[in-house]
Structure 1
Amino acid sequence: MGFISRPFGLFLFWLNNFFGNYGLALIFFTLAVRLILLPLSFKQQKSMQDTQKIQPELLKIREKYKNDKQKLNEETMKLYQKHGINPAGGCFPLLIQFPIIIGLYQAIIKPLTYMFGMLPEQVTVLTEKVNEVLVSKGLDAIGDVGRFEIPIAQNLKYLSADVLESVGLANVKLINFNFLGLDLGQTPSLNYITLLWIIPVLAALTTFLSTKVTSTSNAASTEANSAASTMKTMNALFPLMTAWFTFSMPAGVGFYWILGNIIQIIQQFFLNRYFAAQQQDSKPALEKKKS
């Protein structure tokens, strides 16, 4: 995913240099990415709305041909064709978004690789240098950075200009992780309560609200789905899982998660209103056709 992550990393690098603050950079980064993905989200929602409109007819076909799978498939495809619906229309935008989301996530959790453009061996050398300084100051050394490079990026301030120059960071503006009194480079701890606990709490809360808003838009299809109870269980568990995950990663990652959820809630709210208005406008035309 490096070919996707690197452009995102460069954009985040530019934003960090422009604002001089990682928190502000993440806010504008998330807004920009969501705007790019908005057409795909719109297309996905439209496909779901179109499918919901024909749910009553689909249910009749399933009931009528429940013992004849071939006929069921034929009649279902005829119904889709009649209404000009692509049954895979909602999946295609998701398939496009998935590698993009993975790519931008990598850009966030690995700033040394994707923001600063460092090679793996340079990251290894830098990690050793940072750990030497931390140990000399009586602080804990940083463990495996395979998943998250943020702790290393946060502690670059302790390195001398000569060391930074040796790894190609002489003229690079270091990342300021302090935002609204929070150190986004630190990881919230379950062992003691700190101000950073607000990150997992807000991540869980916004995840809950996001799933509620999204499930409202899918209400019709969910009610007709035999897996409805499973979905409800997952919607309840997902916020708790989010809280747990954000306790095990740097606060900057959790902060990005919160931002993404907030924008998703706002976006979904307006999409729901738009498609509800579209549905209301189409009702008179449908009633006229029936009469």
Structure 2
Amino acid sequence: MNAISNLLGHILRIIFEFVNNYGLSIVVFTLFVRLLLVPLMIKQIKSQKAMQDIQPKIKEIQEKYKNKPEKQKEELMKIYQEAKINPLAGCLPLLIQMPILIGLFRVLQDPVAHGVFTSAAEFAKADTGFLWIQSVSSTKHISLALLSGISAYFMQKMMTTGDEQTENMMKSMTYVMAIMSLFWGYTFQAGLAIYWITSNLFSIAQYQLITSPLKAKLADSKEALVKDEKSGKSNINAASEKNNRNKK
């Protein structure tokens, strides 16, 4: 974890040398990280859509082999392989973000030790505040806590699919994430709260610009494929009936 913290610290230092503002450097750093994760997020969306499409088959297998767990697992793996789905793919962006979040927490606790600044004097000179926050290394900001909680609430709200099976769980998760973010925004350093708020706002914008249109496109593609299959079957049936009539 120390290696990750040092790497993040050096990246933050490079950004700081360009923008010359510590708080703004954290915002730019957050956007940089989230842009790197966009391909993974797109992969996650496609995986989620594919999982939704095979849900009827999964339910059928679960019901058919409910008393045979080994057989059920085997059949489910076949379904995943046929559909080219990795059930763990949806967790990948979150798994990648967690070390970054922990590493950044350590960097902001001691930016000098992790290479952001060469000395405490340089850090003190750079930590002149950001927007209305007087010090990026300070804690217990009510405004940041509220922004953190509200942004987390709306981000999580957007992720609610409306699926009957997952709706209640997602609703609970929405409130849990909002409360945790509210707590983090108040107890953690302002710099980490700025990272978290920026990340949440990016996620909201990403949903509007990428996630929602991509889901709609995937749904349209699926509907078109189903229509083509139905049309193909109809044409085959029509041709078969025509051949039968000709034989008669």
TM-score by structure 2 length? Answer: 0.81
Percent identical: 34
Tell me how large the CA RMSD over aligned residues is. 2.5
SS of equivalent to 1:213: helix
| Distance in 2, Cα, partners of 1:96 & 1:246 | 21
* Unpaired segments ≥5 residues, structure 1: 119-125, 127-152, 157-168, 189-195
Match of 1:37 in 2: 37
The answer to whether the 8 Å contact 2:47/2:89 transfers is yes
Kindly indicate whether residue 155 of structure 2 is the aligned counterpart of residue 210 of structure 1: yes
Match of 2:165 in 1: 224
| Distance in 1, Cα, partners of 2:91 & 2:133 | 38
Match of 2:242 in 1: none
* Unpaired segments ≥5 residues, structure 2: 234-248
In the superposition, relative to structure 1, how do residues 256 and 92 fare at CA in structure 2: closer, same or farther (>3 Å)? closer
SS of equivalent to 2:137: coil
Aligned pairs, how many?
A: 229
Q: Which runs of 4+ in 1 moved over 3 A?
A: 91-98, 115-118, 228-231
The answer to whether the 8 Å contact 1:208/1:235 transfers is yes
Partner amino acid for 1:207? A
Match of 1:187 in 2: 139
Q: How does 1:124-273 map to 2 (within 5 A)?
A: 156=121, 174-183=125-134, 184-188=136-140, 196-216=141-161, 219-220=162-163, 223-225=164-166, 229-269=168-208, 270-273=210-213
SS of equivalent to 1:113: coil
Return 41-50 or 200-209, whichever deviates more. Answer: 41-50
Q: Deviations over 1:206-234 (max 9, x none)?
A: 01011111223xx44xx335xx5344223
In the superposition, relative to structure 1, how do residues 92 and 207 fare at CA in structure 2: closer, same or farther (>3 Å)? closer
Structure 2 residue aligned with 1:279, among 183, 207, 219? 219
The answer to whether the 8 Å contact 1:20/1:176 transfers is no
Name the one with the larger helix percent.
2
In the superposition, relative to structure 1, how do residues 241 and 26 fare at CA in structure 2: closer, same or farther (>3 Å)? same
